[in-house]
Amino acid sequence: MCLSIPAKIISIEGNKAEVSIGNVKYSAGLQMVDDVKIGDYVLLHAGFAIQKIDEEEAKLTLKIFDEMKKNNSH
């Protein structure tokens, strides 16, 4: 099973982007996605943006991950 996580693009330089998931920043390769810009959300997997997704879907997924994390901390 593969897991990808929604990440927001905060800067782009060539085929690389700096993305954020919450307050954590990562480097992401952009070779597999077209037409992305700062502010877009992508699915991040193994250091690569594999698909562009809409903001609403990204925020809902991140909210679910956050709720799962809270439930597992008990």
45-57 confidence digits (pLDDT tens): 999 999 999 999 9
- Is the pLDDT confidence value at 68 over 90? no
Domains located in the chain, CATH noted: 5-72 (2.30.30.140)
The tokens describing 5, both together, are 């996580």
The tokens describing 14, both together, are 């060539």
The tokens describing 67, both together, are 């709720």
Q: Give the model's pLDDT for residue 1.
A: 60
How confident is the prediction for the chain on average, in pLDDT?
A: 92
**Residue 66: how many other CB atoms lie within 10 Å:** 11
pTM above 0.75, yes or no: yes
What does the angle CA 35 – CA 32 – CA 58 come to, to the nearest 5 degrees? 70
Under 8 Å between Cβ of 48 and 28:
yes
